[in-house]
Chains A and B, each alone.
Chain A
């Protein structure tokens, strides 16, 4: 073991310090080639095939391995990820450089290396005795690395020649650097640029489209005028930020105006928190979400945020005269007090580019290969790509990645990555909305599936030893119809002492998902199951979600039970938790359970149990509401889907039954009991959920709206709010109360997960509970799995593991879970919006009654109770004379010509689908009643686009 290393010292001279580090060179590093007999092969290898099965290349018909240099790997990762490209040697030199320069690319290449089908081999050349080289005097680190890559390529070339094979396998160095390539050829290596090689692939001409177009730095100056000023180097930016000349912030492009953006300054002073950037030159090639450095302009150049909607519609690249014209329109007519601190982008600290979904805007020139790509997210600029398959890509949803944005180019350059399918197709659109909301939805990998229990699965003696046998109890589950992932079941029975025993039994998912394995990591990454209108993206593989964990009736299942002894007044006398085995006697729907409770003829055990639960639930609910818990509402929509065409044929708001709230009540109680227990046991590491009280100003809109109907809403406490909401009734307007509750929902804050050791405010405002967590849905929420593990440790039913008691790791996890939950919610809404469109597409134009929910300066937001659909009716439109609008902030009301609109007014609107922009199909709403006096009703429009706009969307209270 100690023999195979030679000793060598490497000195790194720093500013003052001299650092001496050992660098061991080894002889036992394998080349990774399957046919090689000289290298002692290590387990898990070889990775490179003896007969490389890569795509045939006209440049190099012989079998070969590819060896990309750093820049090829950094920029052409999309190509390397393609299944066609196999048998690639990734040098350690390259990997280290990539790791330093781009974390996302590093992760992607690591994933590729881990994929056995790709046959990528990472060769630790820096520690190999024959491939290590020292940096020579006067040589830059880059030159040294290029040389190291060539030396390694050379070594491979010679090493592979020694293999007894009919045909010697060649090594092809891929480099886009002209110098490096020349030197390589001089040294007798085969070297091509990435482009040359990809173009030579005989069977795969489409791959060329996916080449990133990275032009040489020098080339870009030659052609065309320079539009943008140079970005300052990072060192200068950091200096500037330190000395206060520049500010660092996240660049947020304006959704409605492509010539405007804001930069949020991180931390620091109270004033100047937000800087406006206006005009193409000031935006200086920054893209939404980039981390940028900005310089604040002199006060006389400050501008006001514009209210104009500007869509970048230019087709040609050379029409920046137009641009200037448009920029001027922004500046006109601004009053002094509207001016805000304005600035310009001087440099980019960190790009935050991801692959973007969108569509191709085909160039009008027939044979053109350069086309503009319009991303679905309007905050992203259009991207120029080169493709030969433009006709095939027309009307398709595609993914494009940005490669760079030269100074002389109006648009960034990018390349085609993937075709998702025809726009408007249900599958394609679902894929798009999953991608745009960053919902991990790939099929579970083999590595993940390997941690599933082997089938047929059965309960063993050992299992029974550590679990309480509760199969004799009359347990049943109550869920929505069609539910296959049943994670909770209940029972209630009378004890001999006259008290009641109530049990909540939760699927024991943490028994199957062990900490740290691939299955656990994948579930933690997904965070939650995402329910779309006709699709469910599971957090855990189906075998668990719909079978082994699902508490189906008449099978033995593992459960984590929370059992209370209560008196008939629903007061808890005793609480205990135990791992158990249950056998559910029935899986009921809410309606079935309700029917059993209501029908007086039924007297079986299940029904008796349900009645007991229902009785207790009512008491619990009353007590909770008396304590100040809020009952808010948001219209939830359900689609009736045609079983053949899978198109929505009807749309209906969800109806709530008594049994819904019965189940909910016990889930809340279980969650609270568990929260108390885990916090008691782990005051630093408990994963809890809190719901902060909203700042009072959030309620303004609700209070004002109620006032306009002569009602008073008090908002000083949750209790006052709940009480006044209850009293806010109007005899001639029964729907008013619901409207008020919908409005109240919009005032709320988001509930979030947090780690108890990192926070000291635990209060759950909506539930009026001092402490709360999630325990009852481990099949579809990862937070619950952690809570299960904590509780299992607390009752000594399972062992702990390091990450569980690391509050920083837990806090990181909470961050991911909160993000995933938020994105899942947006994805869900986007899915509803898309299905709503499909529905109205099939239905044609309809007129419906609606209520005004908000009054805006130039529009009203209406809610159609029948469909639970919300939309905006605009009173202004391009190319039409503007009606006379008068907005009163105090009441709030909007007077259009001579008609005044107040919140909660009943109106009639006309609904239709506007498919004129296929990428942004939307529901248009136009006012039918009341008629606007004094003007022939302009075609008012609304927005409810497929691409949901999270910030603007309703905030929903989630328990």
Chain B
């Protein structure tokens, strides 16, 4: 039986995108009033909600406090209804712990933590609907939430995945493309300086192809940046007009 054709000879992917195109990204900032910052983001059918508290004093054991910078505390979770199969997902299962760790690393690299020694910043992200690129959607949502909270960052952190199928790098994989099992990288980039906050790769990819895939991924990150930046500007505009009245 012929498997799914992930990239047609005409150059279209299963969902009709071309190789380098992103899924539709839509986002809103400031969705919750109580939190210091919050954002909701859709990347295709992947939907993520991010909430940021802080910077505030250390909670719990004070011994964890860092004397020269703020502690970034992340928590990643998936809603029980986020996939086709309803599943209870306990906190701290292996996959979400790993994701939590990745998020922590990403945001420690982006937030100017040295401005807030001995304090703590909490970032909570939840996937409401999963359709590939969960990590990337989380990073993008959390970036918006952090900006909403007014926490200074070096730059936006933009994340996007890229795969490699039939000698062509594909940007922003959806679930079907991820499930095909090809090589795949997730890249979190600080677009202005082209600095990499996090790079993760699974499955084997020949060294010769790495450059192409990286290029596709960073191009996609920059496309994401364009969208996020617009969202922030619109939000600011909206808020200022409200204030102005």
Contact = CB atoms under 8 A, between A and B. Distances in A.
Interface of A: 1-2, 5, 7, 9, 16-26, 92, 95-96, 99-100, 103, 106, 110, 113, 122, 124, 126-127, 516, 799-802, 805
Contact of A127 (B1, B2, B16): B16
B174 interface: yes
A518 to B, nearest CB: 13
Given A18-B84, A100-B2, A110 B9 contact: yes
Contacts of A18: 84
A26 B9 contact: no
Given A99-B2, A100-B2, A22 B23 contact: yes
Contacts of A801: 206, 208
B17 to A, nearest CB: 6
Given A20-B45, A24-B16, A99-B2, A802 B84 contact: no
B100 to A, nearest CB: 26
B24 A126 contact: no
A21 B85 CA distance: 15
B229 interface: no
Interface of B: 1-2, 5, 8-10, 12, 14-17, 20-24, 44-45, 84-85, 131, 167, 174, 176, 206, 208-209, 223, 227
Q: Which 4 A-B pairs have the closest CB atoms?
A: A802-B206, A127-B16, A24-B16, A17-B84
A126 B10 CA distance: 12
B9 to A, nearest CB: 7
B12 A127 contact: yes
Given A9-B45, A122-B9, 6 more contacts: A16-B85, A22-B23, A23-B15, A99-B5, A124-B16, A805-B206
A127 B12 CA distance: 9
20 contacts: A1-B21, A2-B24, A5-B16, A17-B84, A20-B84, A22-B23, A22-B44, A22-B131, A22-B174, A24-B15, A24-B24, A25-B16, A26-B16, A99-B5, A100-B2, A124-B16, A127-B16, A516-B167, A801-B208, A802-B209
A802 B208 contact: yes
Contacts of A802: 206, 208-209
B15 A22 contact: yes
Nearest to A516: B167
Contact of A2 (B15, B16, B21, B84): B21
Nearest to A114: B9
A684 to B, nearest CB: 13
A469 to B, nearest CB: 30
Given A25-B16, A26-B16, A92-B8, A2 B22 contact: yes
A21 B15 contact: yes
Contacts of B17: 5, 24
Contacts of A100: 1-2
A10 to B, nearest CB: 9
Nearest to B25: A2
A22 to B, nearest CB: 5
Contacts, number: 70
A799 B207 CA distance: 11
Contacts of B21: 1-2
A2 B2 CA distance: 31
A22 B45 contact: yes
B85 A17 contact: yes
A5 B23 CA distance: 10
Contacts of A26: 16
A124 B12 contact: yes
Nearest to B206: A802
A805 B207 CA distance: 11
A670 B193 CA distance: 54
A110 B23 CA distance: 28
Nearest to A100: B2
B98 to A, nearest CB: 25
B45 A126 contact: no
B207 to A, nearest CB: 8
A20 B16 contact: no
Contacts of B208: 799-802
A737 to B, nearest CB: 54
A864 B100 CA distance: 81
A20 B9 CA distance: 25
A953 B208 CA distance: 46
Nearest to A127: B16
A805 B9 CA distance: 26
A799 B5 CA distance: 30
A516 B166 CA distance: 12
A801 B14 CA distance: 28
A510 B1 CA distance: 35
A19 B84 contact: yes
Contacts of A103: 2
A805 B209 CA distance: 14
B85 A20 contact: no
A9 B2 CA distance: 24
A124 B9 contact: no
Contacts of B9: 110, 113, 122
A25 B16 CA distance: 7
B10 A122 contact: yes
B84 A124 contact: no
B12 A21 contact: no
Contact of B24 (A5, A92, A124, A799): A5
B20 to A, nearest CB: 8
A26 B208 CA distance: 33
Nearest to B167: A516
A802 B206 CA distance: 5
A127 B16 CA distance: 6
A17 B45 CA distance: 16
A876 to B, nearest CB: 49
Contacts of B1: 100
A157 B24 CA distance: 32
A924 B65 CA distance: 99
B5 A126 contact: no
B158 to A, nearest CB: 15
A532 to B, nearest CB: 35
A790 to B, nearest CB: 15
A21 B4 CA distance: 14
A103 B20 CA distance: 28
B80 to A, nearest CB: 15
A19 to B, nearest CB: 6
B131 to A, nearest CB: 7
